Amino acid sequence: MKGNFKIIILAVFIFAAVFSVLVFSGTIPIGEKNQSGASGTVTLWGTVRTNLISQALEEFNRANPELVLKYVEKSRETFDQDLLEALASGVGPDMFFLTDDLVFGYKNKITPIPYDSFSVASFRKTFAGAGEVFMTSNGILALPIAVDPLVMYYNRSMLDANGILYPPEYWDEFPAFVPRLTKKDENNRILKSTVALGQFANVSHAKNILATLFMQSGNTIIKEENGVFLPSLSSSNDKYNLGSILKFYTDFADPLSEVYSWNRSFTDSRSAFSSEDVAFYFGHASELRALVNANPNQNFTIASVPQIRGEVSKLTSARVIGIAVAAASRNTSTAFYVANALSTGEFAANFANALGIAPVRRDLLTRAPSDAYSPVFYASALYARTWLDPSSADTDRIFSSIVESVLSNSLSPSDAIRDADSKMTFLLSR
């Protein structure tokens, strides 16, 4: 009798696993009428404010009356700790919004989608490149739903007043902008800055800006080889040296450099931009509303992030949001169905619109709203990329150290890069 019971239990688990695979492979069709047989209640955790996506969630539940999707809003500051504790105690959610900076830490707490069910070719055909941060050798850890690209905000009035018609398309154009836009007093104190680059502590998204420059040069920062994650900062490149790219960045904060335009006297780059003390600001699409509210009279617009001249492809960095199914879910088959439906249905478009960012699905990126900003957001999202950050707080310190060591002349740019690579190796091995 006990043997029969064990066989029955084993059969149930096997059925659930096979069912989940069949859902994603298309063998069991997923349609608006829930032909998959998914039912019951599943819980989704995230830090997105409930009021922003409540309508989209209600529409999803109305379209799927056989199941109930419950969303639980969590604090951004404690989300990581809350989720880990909940998963450890067995009371965690069935699904959660997974951001690119949490992928590495949660890779063992997620039920991955095998490539036999969702092929690499199908994934790349469906989603823009930024979503590939969720692809590992063990499978797909989350289905991408939205992308928040880094773009370049600029003050039109400051450019117009100095006879500058267009913002720079390439990084090597900035040296010509600095003497025209940077204003100093008789003591060489900067009154108006061209661009907030060079420092780390008071440059918003400094790590993302540096990562953009590194990735534009062809460096992936982190790579996976045979299931092992390794740093690639010291990887050789026939065309570019990361040391020279780091020096390009820090020169903007070097008083002896011709492109000196930023220093520690400024509070932070976003505030300086809203105060019209800096002409160019690198920020994310999601910041648009806050920037408008900070200074409603400011005459600013956006452009794509400058590129390295001579490169055929374009690249900007981005933050990516996906939907992951928790390994501890008690309703895995329905969770898989819901995650797929959210990422492939109209919810994805509504979600991105509610957050003021771009969808990551390729078909939705062809439907950019016709306002003054969305076309740039959507175009940037198409060629956006990100990297597998093993620990946001730790890599902040590593990137900060390479900037500070160069500015203080304690390390050469090349030595700073090698030091960062060593620290990254230790971080990945913990």
pLDDT at position 24? 45
Which tens digits make up the pLDDT trace of 33-60? 344 568 899 999 999 999 999 999 999 9
Q: How confident is the model at residue 227 (pLDDT cuts 50, 70, 90)?
A: confident
CATH number corresponding to 2-145+320-379: 3.40.190.10
Neighbour-count burial for 373-384, b at 16+ CB within 10 Å, e otherwise: bbebbbbbbbbb
Which tens digits make up the pLDDT trace of 286-303? 999 999 999 999 999 999
What is the architecture of the domain spanning 149-317+388-429? 3-Layer(aba) Sandwich (3.40)
How far apart, in Å, are the Cα atoms of 188 and each of 161, 245, 256? 21, 26, 11
Beta carbons within 8 Å of 230's beta carbon, 6+ residues apart = 222, 223, 224, 425, 428
The DSSP 8-state label assigned to residue 307 in this structure reads B
149-317+388-429 shares the fold of 2-145+320-379: yes
How far apart, in Å, are the Cα atoms of 105 and each of 49, 248, 361, 374? 23, 32, 25, 32
The Cα–Cα gap between 67 and 34 comes to: 9
Element (H, E) at 192: strand 190-195
Q: Where do the H-state alpha helices sit in 133-235?
A: 156-161, 174-181, 206-216
Beta partners for residue 40, in sequence order: 67
Q: Where do the H-state alpha helices sit in 128-268?
A: 156-161, 174-181, 206-216, 242-250
Percent of the chain with pLDDT over 70: 91
Element (H, E) at 283: strand 278-284
Q: How confident is the model at residue 66 (pLDDT cuts 50, 70, 90)?
A: very high
pLDDT at position 188? 85
How far apart, in Å, are the Cα atoms of 210 and each of 23, 83, 179, 229, 396? 40, 30, 23, 20, 11
Domain boundaries, the chain: 2-145+320-379, 149-317+388-429
The Cα–Cα gap between 414 and 234 comes to: 9
Element (H, E) at 324: strand 316-325
Which tens digits make up the pLDDT trace of 198-210? 999 999 999 999 9
Phi, psi angles (nearest 5°) of residue 114: -70, 150
pLDDT at 8 > cutoff 80: no
pLDDT at position 318? 98
3-state SS, residue 128: coil
pLDDT at position 36? 56
Amino acid present at 111? T
Which tens digits make up the pLDDT trace of 82-93? 998 998 888 899
Which pTM does this prediction carry?
Answer: 0.90
